[in-house]
Amino acid sequence: MRRIATILIVVFMSAMIAVAFWQIILRNFFGTGLSWADITVRHLVLWVGFFGAILATIQDRHITLDVFSRLLPEKLKKHIHSAICLGSAIVCGFLTYASYKFVASERVFGGELFLGVPIWWAQVIIPMTFGIMGMVFLVRGYSKCTL
């Protein structure tokens, strides 16, 4: 999963740079532009950010507050880390549900990204990411608890 996320980040980042570059060239030198370029770049930023979040979760590199963990004994650290992971999984579960409802409402609204592509297709990354992150946190929390 780590390799897939990294490849997708590179692909989407490259596409984002290419679309933005062509938009700048078209606007500055030809007085025109691509009507779909700005919204596409915004959604590519969304995808890059969310795949970065998946990658950070898989690599256990999220921002953490590490104030007390250095003072705790090793056995207690494992249990606290497990509780934090399980709590993060619960939060991700709520965010998955809320973002699913958001994407479902966007689907009903019927906005268009470009060339007839529904905008909700680009936003489906939000509940997918929170679901994947929630599963990673759940597995990590459970595995730390059983060690």
How many Cα atoms occupy the beta-carbon half-sphere of 131 within 13 Å?
10
- pTM given for the model: 0.84
Select from 94, 85, 87 the least CA-distant residue to 127.
94
DSSP β-bridge partners for residue 112: 118
For all residues of the chain together, what is the average pLDDT?
88
Which pLDDT does position 66 carry in this prediction?
67
**Cα gap 85→11, rounded to integer Å:** 30
Q: Domain-by-domain residue ranges, the chain?
A: 2-145
Residue 4 to residues 54, 67, 130, 142, 146: CA-CA distances in angstroms? 10, 33, 17, 24, 29
Residue 146 pLDDT > 60, yes or no?
Answer: no
Which pLDDT does position 105 carry in this prediction?
93
Structure tokens at 128: 């997918």
CA dihedral 114, 117, 118, 120 (to 10 degrees): -90
One-letter amino acid for residue 56 of the chain: A
pLDDT of 8-38, one tens digit each?
999 999 999 999 999 999 999 998 988 888 8
